[in-house]
Structure 1
Amino acid sequence: MKNFVLIGMILTCCTPKGQESSAIDIQGHRGARGLAPENSIPAFILAADLGVTTLELDLVVSKNGQLVVSHEPYFSSDFCLDSEKMAIPKDSVINMYQLTYEEIKRFDCGSTRNPRFPEQKRISTFKPLLSDMIDSVESFTENKGLKPLRYNIELKTTKETDTVFHPLPQAFSDLVYDLLKEKNLLDRVTIQSFDFRTLQYFNRTYPEVELVLLIENELDWKSNIDSLGFKPEVYSPYYRLLSQEKVREIQNAGMKVIPWTVNDFFDINKVLAWQVDGIITDYPDRALIITKKK
């Protein structure tokens, strides 16, 4: 009951409410990080209520092989408290891949607001399991009579941290695919990653899954696609790496363009004017205000 009260409190703070009908894919980054604790169930519920079309999220793996919704495979001292509700030292690295989910769930990652997001509400919450997050969102949208949402799921892997902070890409990918298949969500999911190995494995093993190439380097998009070895459904760079001309080139090559993380009203307007296929934003309320006016 307490969690539903907290969710209800945060839903009253923001407008507009209700899903918007828009051709552009508005993705709530880590739920709605600018407004609620990132990658938390309250943030995903808020984003759904605001009217996003897709929930963007990140996954890590616990010691006992559970898929946990979190950007880092460790606890950030910026906005998490330890299992005793004490501050986490700045130089501390608490590796979730070495903790069971029961241990992970004891940490509070919402009572301390992320200092980068002054509008973010303080909510005592924890890092959820992917399965629980999906169940909560699906139940919420069904009860509200909202259109089912899509999920854009990032697998956090790097070659340097293999078997230290996460399983090898193949094992990680298999865990994700199996759960999404169990939830009957494969037709409403995209898998994204900066790690080419993860996308290449998905492309070979699960070709029915739509893939998103995340990019933060300044290489030409053609070079990145050549290195990947195939064309994913979506090319997703940091928005400052784009221009209207590049958007057109990528779309003409047969890929959608969905940049991250577009937050300011000015930048949202500018990127939308380039006719991108979607945007990922910490402030879906801002993006939805603009798309509604348009």
Structure 2
Amino acid sequence: MPQKTFEIEGHRGCRGLMPENTIPAFQKALDLGVDTLELDVCISQDYQVLVSHEPYMNSLFASHPNGSPVLKKEEKTLNLYRMNYQEIQQFDTGLRGNKLFPAQQKLATHKPLLSEMLAFCENYIQQKGLKAVHYNIEIKSEEKEYGISQPESIEVFSDLVYQVLKQFIPAERVIIQSFDFNALRFWHQQIQSKEYPKFTLSALVEREGVEPSLQKLGFLPDVFSPYFKQLTKGKVAMCHQKGIKVIPWTVNEIDDMLAMKALGTDGLITDYPDRALKLWK
């Protein structure tokens, strides 16, 4: 029997080490040897799929094209869904660093298109002879934001993402995750009706238990992905009984990583994949 692997996912590339959700962060995570690149996607005004955790410019690390820092009070006015991608890419997202991650390297970079990110990573893997990785892509969606900082329908959002994915990578190397269960239900329905090939679907939750989450979702996802502090051995066992993998987020301290492994999880998502890879690879 093949040995069960413990999956190390680089959160937003490797946010602890490089500017989050940028090409340099994904390159570094690939060099480290992650199994999976975790990232987030939003939509611009011109319907481009871009890699970004927030649907706006984050004042923690974003700078205007003239170099001045984005201020907290400006964030919501810099709504990515109200900006064309050409405008978005003029903003820097790495030179200032991020005070929450003091070891993060400061460098000039920007929010890439999903297509740019996938093309870079796939070429880099080939050039360097690295193992093929999975991509865990979070659909950054909230019901109250429909039509405000994202397309009015989850169908439009999802299909824009799917059209990019199918050009670059096979579905078996893609995980689609979301806190918005409407998004997961739509992908599930598209897979069932054979409109989309079989993608791995991951239910992101913060505090919700296993049963309430599954009831709300209405189908069994491939992965249950809770905030790591909410996880117990019982929850892991309950998921495994149903054939669902458990991958908690965002586990950064070595003690917590060891604790998650001891609970029987199938892997973890971390800002510091270097720490996890030292333990298990």
Shared fold by TM > 0.5? yes
1:139 is aligned, of 114, 123, 126, to 123
> Given that residues 44 and 55 in structure 1 are in contact (C-alpha distance below 8 angstroms), is that contact kept between their aligned partners in structure 2?
yes
Cα distance per residue 1:44-68 (max 9 Å; x no partner)? 0000110000000000001100000
Structure-2 separation of matches of 1:49 and 1:89: 34
1:275 partner amino acid: G
Tell me if 1:154 matches 2:144. no
2:88 is aligned, of 67, 80, 104, to 104
2:168 is aligned, of 164, 183, 188, to 183
SS in structure 2 of the partner of residue 164 of structure 1? coil
Tell me if 1:174 matches 2:159. yes
Structure-2 separation of matches of 1:206 and 1:162: 23
CA offset at residue 252 of structure 1?
A: 1.2
> Given that residues 22 and 291 in structure 1 are in contact (C-alpha distance below 8 angstroms), is that contact kept between their aligned partners in structure 2?
no
1:231 is aligned, of 214, 220, 225, to 220
User: Which residue does the alignment assign to 1:18?
Assistant: none
SS in structure 1 of the partner of residue 93 of structure 2? coil
Structure-2 separation of matches of 1:125 and 1:287: 26
CA offset at residue 22 of structure 1?
A: 7.8
Cα distance per residue 1:25-47 (max 9 Å; x no partner)? 10000000000000000000000
CA offset at residue 112 of structure 1?
A: 0.7
User: Which residue does the alignment assign to 1:12?
Assistant: none
SS in structure 2 of the partner of residue 27 of structure 1? strand
CA offset at residue 272 of structure 1?
A: 1.1
1:163 is aligned, of 147, 161, 183, to 147
1:278 partner amino acid: G
User: Which residue does the alignment assign to 2:206?
Assistant: 216
Tell me if 1:66 matches 2:48. yes
User: Which residue does the alignment assign to 2:63?
Assistant: 81
More divergent stretch after superposition (239-248 vs 108-117): 239-248
> Given that residues 111 and 124 in structure 1 are in contact (C-alpha distance below 8 angstroms), is that contact kept between their aligned partners in structure 2?
yes
> Given that residues 27 and 284 in structure 1 are in contact (C-alpha distance below 8 angstroms), is that contact kept between their aligned partners in structure 2?
yes
User: Which residue does the alignment assign to 1:130?
Assistant: 114
* RMSD, aligned CA: 1.2
1:139 partner amino acid: N
Identity of aligned residues (%): 44
Cα distance per residue 1:121-179 (max 9 Å; x no partner)? 00100000000001111111111111111000000111111011001211000111111
- Listed as ranges, the gaps of 5+ residues in structure 2 are 193-197
User: Which residue does the alignment assign to 2:267?
Assistant: 278
1:56 partner amino acid: E
SS in structure 2 of the partner of residue 269 of structure 1? helix
1:29 is aligned, of 11, 14, 31, to 11
Structure-2 separation of matches of 1:274 and 1:184: 32
Q: Provide runs of 4+ in structure 1 moved above 3 Å.
A: none
Structure-2 separation of matches of 1:61 and 1:199: 17
User: Which residue does the alignment assign to 2:254?
Assistant: 265
Structure-1 separation of matches of 2:184 and 2:121: 26
2:217 partner amino acid: L
> Given that residues 262 and 268 in structure 1 are in contact (C-alpha distance below 8 angstroms), is that contact kept between their aligned partners in structure 2?
yes
Structure-1 separation of matches of 2:125 and 2:95: 26
Structure-2 separation of matches of 1:52 and 1:242: 23
Q: What TM-score, normalized to structure 2? A: 0.94
Tell me if 1:244 matches 2:233. yes
Structure-2 separation of matches of 1:22 and 1:97: 41
2:188 is aligned, of 193, 200, 203, to 203
2:105 partner amino acid: K
SS in structure 2 of the partner of residue 151 of structure 1? strand
SS in structure 1 of the partner of residue 126 of structure 2? helix
> Given that residues 55 and 152 in structure 1 are in contact (C-alpha distance below 8 angstroms), is that contact kept between their aligned partners in structure 2?
yes
> Given that residues 210 and 238 in structure 2 are in contact (C-alpha distance below 8 angstroms), is that contact kept between their aligned partners in structure 1?
no
Structure-2 separation of matches of 1:118 and 1:274: 30
Structure-2 separation of matches of 1:289 and 1:245: 28
